[in-house]
Amino acid sequence: MRVLVTGGGGQLGRALARVGARGGHDVRALPRAGLDVTDAAAVAAALDVHRPAVVINAAAETAVDRAEARPDRAFAVNAIGADRVARACAARAVPLLHVSTDHVFDGLATRPYGEDAAVRPRSVYGRSKAAGEAAVRAAGGVVVRTSWLFSADGCGFVPAIVRAARRGDPLRAVVDHSGSPTAADDLARVLLALGDRRDLPAVLHVAGEPAVTRLALAQAVVDALAAAGAIAPVTVAPASAATWWAPAARPAYAALGGQRLRGLGLAPPPWRCALGRAVQTLARGR
């Protein structure tokens, strides 16, 4: 299957290229310099040149805190860019899988969010992604929401905990934020499996299981590091989100339910084994 990936230089874009190549797919993962999704003519030209069987829109402005100060940049990529990709795909009858986020929710739930839960973003980033979702749905594309992505070559929470633990810094993580850690490679595998399905709902959640707190995830990271012999066993201290100021609000509860994915015969990916592998790679590499 020929797959055109936007945002090909990002964490998920690289995972799609890696996993797709292993699976025998012809993945054209274009970084921002090769395809700017805010440029409608460039998007149209890329579709006409590559003639993909499916497009995966992994391009996004993901700096959640920076978006508060620069909403124009967040909306340009996450809303207008998504709209341009969706319209170009619709005009050519090319299926689109558009990647979105738990940040479209308010975080007040107590059970994993289903796909039909009300969208109530509390940050600029969340609002820009919600606007992108609406544009994609209007053009007939499929929205795939995920959460708490990690990989050995990413730059989020998991690599940050690994670096801090290896430096011997005191470790703290919040107990009152929960979510669904998701390995970028696992998400890539599911997206590629969905690529040639024509029975997809308009919105689908693909996120790892089980849901955990940030504290439990951080503890799983240091446990994996200790198991790899990279550090001595250590306990991560609990902290409250109230003591953790950041410009953008994060959903306190961000777990995404996997019922719809199960209905398609696919399982939400368990994250623990993938986390162990990512941590081992990080422990070897840096």
Ligand X SMILES: NC(=O)c1ccc[n+]([C@@H]2O[C@H](COP(=O)([O-])OP(=O)(O)OC[C@H]3O[C@@H](n4cnc5c(N)ncnc54)[C@H](OP(=O)(O)O)[C@@H]3O)[C@@H](O)[C@H]2O)c1
Q: DSSP code of 80? A: I
Contact stretch for ligand X (CB under 6 A) within 33-41, 111-119, 244-252, 272-280: 33-41
Contact stretch for ligand X (CB under 6 A) within 34-42, 85-93, 110-118, 210-218: 34-42
Q: Could you give the residue ranges of the DSSP H alpha helices within the chain?
A: 11-22, 40-50, 64-69, 71-75, 82-92, 124-138, 157-167, 184-194, 214-227, 259-263, 272-285
Q: Does 249 bind ligand X (CB under 6 A)?
A: no
Contact stretch for ligand X (CB under 6 A) within 21-29, 58-66, 189-197, 226-234: 58-66
Identified binder of ligand X from the candidate list 17, 60, 130, 191, rule CB under 6 A: 60
Contact stretch for ligand X (CB under 6 A) within 17-25, 30-38, 105-113, 231-239: 30-38
Binding mask 137-176 for ligand X (x = CB under 6 A): ---------xxxx------x--------------------
Q: DSSP code of 209? A: B
The token pair at 266 is 């696919």
CA 153 to chain centre: 14
**Positive or negative torsion for Cα 274, 276, 281, 283:** positive
Identified binder of ligand X from the candidate list 5, 6, 177, 279, rule CB under 6 A: 6
Q: DSSP code of 207? A: -
Contact 29, 17 (CB under 8 A): yes
Q: Does 180 bind ligand X (CB under 6 A)?
A: no
Q: Does 219 bind ligand X (CB under 6 A)?
A: no
Contact 27, 43 (CB under 8 A): no
Identified binder of ligand X from the candidate list 46, 94, 99, 124, rule CB under 6 A: 99
| Residues annotated as part of the active site | 125
Identified binder of ligand X from the candidate list 3, 4, 5, 12, rule CB under 6 A: 12
Tell me whether residue 231 or residue 270 sits nearer to ligand X (CB atom): 270
Classify residue 48 as left (phi > 0), alpha (psi -120 to 50) or beta: alpha
Can you give the binding site for ligand X, defined by CB under 6 A? Answer: 6-7, 9-13, 32, 35-38, 58-62, 77, 81, 99, 101-102, 129, 146-149, 156
